[in-house]
């Protein structure tokens, strides 16, 4: 996020906040994860592939007996994902789309050759049930790359163990620009999610902060 806590502009256009060291760090984190997940808002705004960029890191994964890329996951209650989305095509490996009961069966049939479809929840993906299903599928280390709506959903349901945040050296501004945790937000102080500081380090003229979520 930017120094003022924004993930992008008020038009929700993708912007580059990370410097080179942070991009390398994120690629390493992807390569060490069993799966990488984003919300459909991020797919529609940024069309990320979520693939591991470094060839060396992909080879390391193959040597460890893993697939080249972690499982790539999109949380998308009504299956709005375009079948041409980069995440469904770029790089090898498994894909999972998490949908709810309100997804259109015809669209699901179109997506089935491209990804495993997991259905939970009636109107919205039931994140707790979905995360349990991922565990059954062998996903133990799940990295979530945003956006703020999905991050809020996971945090507010107590499903996050760790928050790692790079804070870049720019101000984006805009009251409608997305932030790290969106949704409704908490009102009562005793509901706030409390974090324990693990480390802070300067990086690319910004800061890298690691916190554990207090349970
Ligand atoms: N700076 C960064 O590192 C970074 C990273 C990622 C994204 N971004 C930015 O963030 C913005 C996109 O974020 P966003 O908040 O709009 O979208 P998002 O968090 O990527 O996706 C949110 C969507 O996920 C779906 N969802 C399904 N079940 C959910 C649940 N139980 N809880 C929460 N969400 C659920 C909802 O759509 P349905 O109801 O249709 O399922 C929801 O609208 C873009 O501007 C992007 O550029 C920045």
The DSSP-derived string for 41-74 is HHHHHH--------HHHHHHHHHTT--SS-EEEE
CA angle 28, 1, 80 (to 5 degrees): 80
Alpha carbon of 41 to ligand 1 centroid (Å): 4
- Give CA–CA dist 51/48, Å, rounded: 8
Per-residue pLDDT tens over the stretch 72-98: 999 999 999 999 999 999 999 999 999
Closest CA to 130 of 73, 80, 72, 184: 73
pLDDT the model gives residue 111: 98
- Give CA–CA dist 52/27, Å, rounded: 6
Closest CA to 107 of 90, 93, 88: 88
Q: How is residue 125 written in tokens?
A: 């993906």
Alpha carbon of 122 to ligand 1 centroid (Å): 18
Q: What is the mean pLDDT of residues 164-176?
A: 97
Q: Would you state the torsion angle of the CA atoms of residues 151, 152, 157, 159, taken in this order, to the nearest 10 degrees?
A: 20
160 lines ligand 1 (CB under 6 A): no
Per-residue pLDDT tens over the stretch 172-199: 999 999 999 999 999 999 999 999 999 9
pLDDT the model gives residue 11: 95
154 lines ligand 1 (CB under 6 A): no
- Give CA–CA dist 195/208, Å, rounded: 15
Closest CA to 194 of 168, 154, 158, 167: 158
Q: What is the mean pLDDT of residues 3-7?
A: 97
pLDDT the model gives residue 158: 97
**For atom 33 of ligand 1, which residue has the closest CA?**
150
Q: Which residue has the tokens 């041409």?
A: 84
206 lines ligand 1 (CB under 6 A): no
pLDDT the model gives residue 10: 96
pLDDT the model gives residue 63: 98
Alpha carbon of 104 to ligand 1 centroid (Å): 20
Q: Percentage of the chain surpassing pLDDT 70?
A: 100
Instruction: Please state, rounded to an integer, the average pLDDT across all residues of the chain.
Output: 97
Per-residue pLDDT tens over the stretch 49-80: 999 999 999 999 999 999 999 999 999 999 99
In terms of Cβ atoms closer than 10 Å to its own Cβ (0-12, 13-18, 19+), residue 42 is: buried
Closest CA to 98 of 58, 87, 53: 87
pLDDT the model gives residue 33: 98
């Amino acid at each position: 996020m930017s120094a003022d806590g924004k993930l992008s502009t008020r038009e929700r256009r993708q912007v580059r906040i990370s410097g080179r060291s942070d991009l390398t760090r994120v690629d390493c984190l992807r390569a060490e994860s069993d799966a990488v997940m984003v919300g459909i808002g991020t797919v529609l705004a940024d069309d990320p592939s979520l693939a591991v960029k470094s060839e060396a890191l992909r080879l390391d994964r193959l040597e460890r007996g893993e697939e080249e890329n972690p499982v790539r996951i999109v949380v998308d209650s009504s299956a709005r994902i375009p079948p041409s989305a980069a995440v469904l095509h770029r790089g090898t490996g498994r894909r999972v789309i998490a949908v709810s009961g309100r997804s259109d069966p015809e669209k699901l049939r179109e997506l089935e050759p491209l990804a495993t479809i997991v259905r939970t929840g009636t109107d919205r993906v039931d994140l707790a049930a979905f995360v349990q299903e991922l565990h059954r599928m062998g996903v133990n280390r799940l990295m979530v790359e945003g956006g703020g709506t999905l991050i809020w959903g996971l945090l507010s349901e107590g499903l996050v163990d760790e928050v790692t945040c790079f804070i870049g050296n720019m101000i984006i501004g805009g009251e409608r620009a997305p932030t790290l945790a969106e949704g409704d937000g908490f009102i009562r102080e005793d509901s706030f999610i409390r974090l324990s500081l693990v480390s802070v380090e300067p990086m690319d003229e910004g800061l890298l902060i690691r916190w554990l979520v207090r349970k």
